[in-house]
Structure 1
Amino acid sequence: MEKVIEYGEVSAVYRREKDGKALAEIADDFFEQINRCVSDLRAQAGDAQRSPQDAHKSTMLLNDAKKLETMAHHIKDARERKIALLAQSGADPGTLPLTAHEKALFGGIVNLLESHRALLDGRAHAEHEPCPAPQVKLAEAAPKKADLLVIQVLEDVREFATEERTYALKKSDVVALPREYGAALLRSGKAREIAPAP
């Protein structure tokens, strides 16, 4: 049978992580237990909401679920910060109260730091290639280049049509648009200008 975590247990771990420098000891499935508890609370709130006299109970259950999620988020952040500092300082993971996932995180950080230090010390060469420049999608029947505006899309844009074609733009796309459409996206904050079209 799966363990049901208590609100007080999460609250105690939250306080230890927030106030202490050391990692609190937690079960390997601590966060999974919280997720199950939050799901149960939300389901109970949904059941309670069906009955008008239980509306207050539903609100209380949802508030408890939100508090648990908030505490879990803060616990994760605090633990990740402490793990990064411990990995950077050369701590022995065998002596730390880490979950299985956190042991993998610790090892990954150590490996990344070792590679970085080797690169800085001249003992290794960069093994990764630089990121390629973004591809610019030009319209098939493009208007004169002077009438184009090259932009990077900052958030998904609903499909729209110009006289030449239909566009379906996604976040991070770099595209050359007719100036009037590109300017409209710039004004709305959905894009930023990369460079004037050549």
Structure 2
Amino acid sequence: MSGDGIGFTEISDVHREERKGKTLTKLPSKFYVKAEEYLAQRREEYARQSSNPGNPAAMMLQDEIKKVDKRLTQIYQMRERKIVLASLSGTRPDNMAPRDKALYEELTEVLAHYRKSGEARAPKVREVAEVETAEAPKPVVDCQTEFVEVEEPETDSEIDSTVVQVLEDIPPFAGVDHTYDLKKDDIVTLPTKFADLLSSKGKVRIVEG
């Protein structure tokens, strides 16, 4: 497809470049919108052609639709992974389309809130540890070697938690001790502050106990 249109060739080119690079590929203007429009048009054409059984044009269209649909899905997934990694590292990637920017900004906001809530708890943990160390006698063995008990870091399972139902797929994000990969209709337990934030954005529904 020539001009400003998006067709099979343009989608295949973007797919190839996205697979090769570690950073986001620069997309043609309004790529996502035009690519979905192109796919819808090909499906409409297939519906017309398939009314005649055994029509070679219909078979070719069906094959093209499958390939385009698969490549678009992979483009979305590859770009989403790159944006997730960028948000986790705190770097803002270049070549973001409006859809990409919306995802990046939402992820950054969620991660900043989650990390801030973790920092707010950290001083309290250190203060308790210092008091206990000062008051409790240090164990001593015959060889006069001192052993000081080291407090284990808090994990997600030890933080106040809330059971939620996921209302839509949410890109993977890092917790305190593991990565969450939430899909629509999942029933999961999340740290309460994180559950409240996602609930306020309509991403999850809190399940009453």
Q: Sort the TM-score into its range (normalised by shorter chain).
A: 0.5 to 0.7
Contact 1:27-1:99 within 8 A present in 2 as well: no
| Counterpart in the other structure of 1:106 | 104
Query: Counterpart of 2:162 in structure 1: which amino acid?
Result: P
Which residue number corresponds to residue 35 of structure 1?
36
Cα contact 1:83–1:106 (8 A) shared by 2: yes
Query: 1:90: how far off?
Result: 1.5
> Could you tell me which residue of structure 2 aligns to residue 131 of structure 1?
163
Report the CA distance shift for 1:78/1:120 in structure 2 as closer, same or farther (over 3 A). same
For 2:34, the aligned partner's letter is Q
Identity %: 26
Match of residue 14 from structure 1: 15
The change in CA–CA distance for 1:132 and 1:88 in structure 2 (over 3 A counts) is closer
Call closer, same or farther: CA 1:130–1:50 in 2, change over 3 Å: closer
1:166 corresponding residue in structure 2: none
The amino acid of 1:116's aligned partner reads: Y
Indicate the SS of the match to 1:130: strand
1:83 is displaced (CA, Å) by: 0.5
Instruction: Give the 3-state SS of the residue equivalent to 2:120 in structure 1.
Output: coil
Relative to 1, partners in 2 of residues 1:92 and 1:132: Cα closer, same or farther, differing over 3 Å?
A: closer
The one-letter code matched in structure 2 to 1:131 is: V
56-65 vs 24-33, which moves further: 24-33
Deviation at 1:49, TM superposition (A): 2.1
TM-score under structure 2 length normalisation: 0.54
Question: What amino acid does structure 1 have at the position aligned with 2:115?
Answer: R
Query: C-alpha deviations, 1:103-148, integer Å up to 9, x for none?
Result: 1111111111111111222269xxx982379xxxxxxxxxxxxxxx
Change (3 A) 1:116 1:27: same
Distance, in Å, in 1 between the alignment partners of 2:164 and 2:42 is 47
Letter in 1 for 2:111: L
Query: Match for 2:102: what amino acid?
Result: A
Corresponding residue of 2:88: 88
1:118–1:57 CA distance, 2 compared to 1 (3 A): same
Q: Matched residues in 1 for 2:49 and 2:99: separation?
A: 36
Q: Could you say what secondary structure the match of 1:119 adopts?
A: helix
Matched residue type, 1:114: A
Counterparts in 2 of 1:121 and 1:3: CA distance versus 1, 3 Å: same
Stretches of structure 1 that go unaligned for 5 or more consecutive residues are: 134-170, 173-198
TM superposition score normalised by structure 1: 0.57
Aligned to 1:79: 79
Contact 1:28 1:100 in 2 (8 A): no
Distance 2:89 2:164 in 1: 34
CA apart distance, 1:46: 1.9
Query: Take 2:119 and 2:26, find their aligned partners in 1: how far apart are those partners?
Result: 36
| TM-superposed deviation, 1:70 | 0.3
Kindly indicate whether residue 74 of structure 2 is the aligned counterpart of residue 115 of structure 1. no
Distance 1:39 1:92 in 2: 32
For structure 2, the 5+ residue unaligned runs are 123-159, 166-184, 187-209
Deviations 1:21-59 (A, max 9, x none): 01011145212212211111112122222335x711101
SS at match of 1:121: helix
Question: Alpha-carbon deviation of 1:12?
Answer: 1.0
> What amino acid is aligned across from residue 87 of structure 1 in structure 2?
S
